[in-house]
């Protein structure tokens, strides 16, 4: 791998690493010298990203976990530490789409989205924090969303969960800063990923298995920069937050949304 070594000697655990933003960040971290634990509900997807990293000369392992499960979350952390030595960086990225509005969604959907997108972020941190506190250092990056910053019709449970991630990030930063642990959150705008496309299809904004290129072009006009984001836009910010360049950055919420939340 061609690397400047910004994460040389570091070990990162990335949830939801099998696709989209998690995959892009796993590859970016590995390029910069980190050993990466690629975690996904889909073990095959996690192992595919692991293989990509290894083929490029990096070090990685693939793990399966349901982040909404306490037992799975605890095991993924212990397995990462056993196989890679420690976890310096946690990128709590795993999530699912959640469509509908307050008056019409089912309680089951609410529970599922909150369990994965909010509780899952907490559980990931819960089991990695004791190890970071013991060493007196660590970085946690939580994946939130533009939907946690501004009102967006049709994704009520998703925005509720992401708003909770933002609040949780600030509380954790204040609580664990004295222990040397930095905690920040990223709020992406619309980025073409499998999750975004599933959300569109569930809302009825696009038919199942549609070609989304025309819709992407339409949506891009809503952003001041007149384009949609890319997974690398998020991966590059995550890299900065994970690196020593952000040593005095904690409790911050970063919008990566082409200016949409400022409009």
Q: Give CA–CA dist 91/77, Å, rounded.
A: 12
Q: Is 254 a catalytic residue?
A: no
Catalytic residue among 158, 176, 197, 254: 158
Positions marked active-site: 158
């Amino acid at each position: 791998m061609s690397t400047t070594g910004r994460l040389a000697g570091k070990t990162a655990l990335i949830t939801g690493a099998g696709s989209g933003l998690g995959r892009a960040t796993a590859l970016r971290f590995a390029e910069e010298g980190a050993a990466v634990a690629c975690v996904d509900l889909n073990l095959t997807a996690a192992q595919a990203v692991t293989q990509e990293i290894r083929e490029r000369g990096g070090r990685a392992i693939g793990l399966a976990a349901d982040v909404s499960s306490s037992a799975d979350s605890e095991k993924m952390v212990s397995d990462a530490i056993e196989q890679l030595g420690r976890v310096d960086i946690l990128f709590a990225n795993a999530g699912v789409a959640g469509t509908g509005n307050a008056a019409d969604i089912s309680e089951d959907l609410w529970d599922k989205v909150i369990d994965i997108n909010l509780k899952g972020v907490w559980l990931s941190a819960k089991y990695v924090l004791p190890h970071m506190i013991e060493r007196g250092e660590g970085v946690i990056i939580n994946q939130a969303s533009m939907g946690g910053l501004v009102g967006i019709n049709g994704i009520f449970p998703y925005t509720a969960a992401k708003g909770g991630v933002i609040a949780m990030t600030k509380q954790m930063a204040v609580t664990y800063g004295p222990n040397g642990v930095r905690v920040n959150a990223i709020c992406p705008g619309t980025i073409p990923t499998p999750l975004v496309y599933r959300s569109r299809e569930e809302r009825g904004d696009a038919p199942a298995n549609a070609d989304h290129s025309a819709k992407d072009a339409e949506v891009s006009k809503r952003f001041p920069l007149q384009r949609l984001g890319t997974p690398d836009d998020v991966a590059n910010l995550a890299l900065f937050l994970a690196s020593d360049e952000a040593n005095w950055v904690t409790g911050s919420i970063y919008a990566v949304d082409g200016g949409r939340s400022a409009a």
